[in-house]
Chains A and B, each alone.
Chain A
Amino acid sequence: MSVKFQYTPSAYKAGKTYTAIPNVDAADLSISRASSATRINEDGLIEVMGDNVPRMDYTDGGCPVLLAEQQAENLIEYSNSPTSPNWENNGTATVTLDTDISPDGSVNASTVSGATGVSFRTNNINVNLSGFNNNDDVCSSVWLKSKGATNVRLIQRSDDGNLVFQDFNITNDWARYYTTRNVGLFTNTQFLIGGSDGDFLFYEAQTEIGIKPSSNIPTNGATAIRLSDDSIQTGDISQYIDSSNFTLEFTAKFSYLNDYISVSNGDGANSVRIFGETNTVFRANYLSNNVNNNESFITVLSVFDWHDFKLVFSNNVLDLFVDGVAATTNILNTEPRNFTFSQLSLSTPPFGSFRGQIKSIKIS
């Protein structure tokens, strides 16, 4: 079968990212995000993208991915100014602002000196953060680069002294490091950077709710929210989909469970769709008039890794392949199909939008 639709992240403007095949407006993917957001650009630099601008992200080098994230808030009010209010230098730790080129290409990285010694509680820079709910997972991250140091310790701790820490070997290249802690019965945490053996460079600290850091959310005097990337979908592409017999292939990395990628008639009640059901199981459904006609499921090591997906829909039966491995398919019902597949969607009403990364999508 010939490729009738192929999206590869490459071209964009506010509100949309362009599809090459077919080379028509209806095949372009809309996107909305009512706030700015950052990405790693072609030059490997952190770049702020305006409201509703899709993010072609080059974090892993090579061809970009379409990055879609959920809402997140950086709770550090001065993310790149560790001498500002809320930040504190303890002991021998000192900070010199704007000494070196940072990951955004500007001379706005700071040098941290004296945050040394085993007694990281004494010599460190730190920021206090509060307002969490009990049992929130809180992730604190920062870009670091050696300026003599070979290691740094990142710490989070509560008022009662309960803490987690991680030691990192830092190099002469910028890298982002993070530590995550469940705040348990507390609603606050303190993010400390210390335990080093020399000077190091500091850029953009971020503390947010979650297990892993999301894309950088710069702040300057107040916390900041990056809103979610939503409504990622084509227009009417029914003429490019054989509703009786088509194959949907895509390479993606899901960030959350129950996020759907689908081909539908514009209605979640009539769709071919796939989602991560558990941490290790992908499930695909063919829904007709909200009746689950077929289901297909497969176990993988982690649904949050990169995977190649292939959904083959033929004669009202849906078969799923993940990384070339066939899933188990059950035919549950034979609800007649009386609709035309017309839309590719990275969200399926009434469910939320897909959050993760997309390398390519193809329909043949």
Chain B
Amino acid sequence: MACLLNSGRLKPCKDAVGGVRSLYFVNYDVIKDVTYDTDGETILSINQNLPAPSVVLFRYDIRSNAELTQNITSSKENGTTFFEQVLTVEFTGLTKEDNEEIKRMIYSTPYVFVEDFRNNIMLVGLENGVDVTEGNSATGKEMGDFNGYNITLTSKETAFANFFPDFDAWIASGIAYIGGYRNSTLFRDRVLVDGGIVESLECVVQE
């Protein structure tokens, strides 16, 4: 394995912004494998275990209430390195539906696509999935206090979370794109384009 450095880094323009815009959860058994660009950091394509329409992404609109931190643990003595990908998320608002869905999140080991405010998409937990390792729900004391869920999702991986620039193209291949029980964007769009009527969208995919 090449362990030698091969490039430097210029100071970039001051155009960076922090924060996470959205998270897209997908069940663990969905992804079969991925193909990488020659840099080994960029995912070119995702091979699924299911045909595209059966792959469902559950979108959570976050708007800054999340952070992806990747902690590097490298041991000179043991000659090992791993990357702990830690995703901390605040879901505002307590609901019985959220209780149920977050409980499922805790019980499962999903993958998470993280979209930041620079439109980067990174796949967290590619090798091992992510686990909810900490969390709580809180009502808050005062009217202005936080009311919702604090969740920490963690995965130990052999690399940083890979970038996936062709995420939109992957979605366009027919991936079902459902914003949890609240919003079924593609489903609703398909119905409306077909001249249909959508009622009780919150009832779709609440199970």
Taking a contact as CB atoms under 8 Å apart, the answer to whether B27 and A23 are in contact is: no
Give chain A residues whose Cβ lies under 8 Å from the Cβ of B56.
Answer: 3, 21
Chain A, Cβ-Cβ closest to B186: A23
Taking a contact as CB atoms under 8 Å apart, the answer to whether B54 and A42 are in contact is: no
Give the shortest distance, in Å, between B183 (CB) and chain A (any CB). 12
Taking a contact as CB atoms under 8 Å apart, the answer to whether A11 and B197 are in contact is: yes
If the complex has contacts A2-B29, A2-B50, A4-B54, are A20 and B204 also in contact, measured as CB distance less than 8 A?
Answer: yes
If the complex has contacts A4-B50, A22-B53, are A362 and B198 also in contact, measured as CB distance less than 8 A?
Answer: no
Compute how far the CA of A22 lies from the CA of B194 in the bound complex, rounded to whole angstroms: 16
Tally of B interface residues using CB under 8 Å: 32
Interface centre among A20, A42, A64, A239 (most CB of B within 10 A): A20
Taking a contact as CB atoms under 8 Å apart, the answer to whether A12 and B196 are in contact is: yes
Give chain B residues whose Cβ lies under 8 Å from the Cβ of A3.
Answer: 54, 56
Give per-residue flags for B164-207: 1 if the beta carbon is below 8 A from chain A beta carbons, else 0: 00000000001010100000101110110011111111111111
Taking a contact as CB atoms under 8 Å apart, the answer to whether A11 and B53 are in contact is: no
Please tell me which one of the listed residues B30, B191, B205, B207 contacts residue A11 in the complex, with CB atoms under 8 A apart.
Answer: B191
Taking a contact as CB atoms under 8 Å apart, the answer to whether B186 and A11 are in contact is: no
Give the shortest distance, in Å, between A187 (CB) and chain B (any CB). 43
Taking a contact as CB atoms under 8 Å apart, the answer to whether B29 and A13 are in contact is: no
* Extra inter-chain contacts (17) besides given A10-B200, A10-B204, A16-B196, CB under 8 Å: A2-B27, A4-B50, A8-B204, A10-B201, A11-B198, A11-B199, A13-B191, A13-B197, A18-B187, A20-B178, A20-B187, A23-B174, A23-B187, A23-B190, A24-B53, A27-B53, A63-B200
Q: Which residues of A contact B (CB under 8 A)?
A: 1-6, 8-13, 16, 18, 20-25, 27, 42, 56, 62-64, 239-240, 360, 362
A and B contact pairs by CB, cutoff 8 A, 11 listed: A10-B204, A11-B187, A11-B188, A18-B191, A18-B194, A18-B196, A20-B205, A21-B56, A22-B176, A63-B202, A63-B206
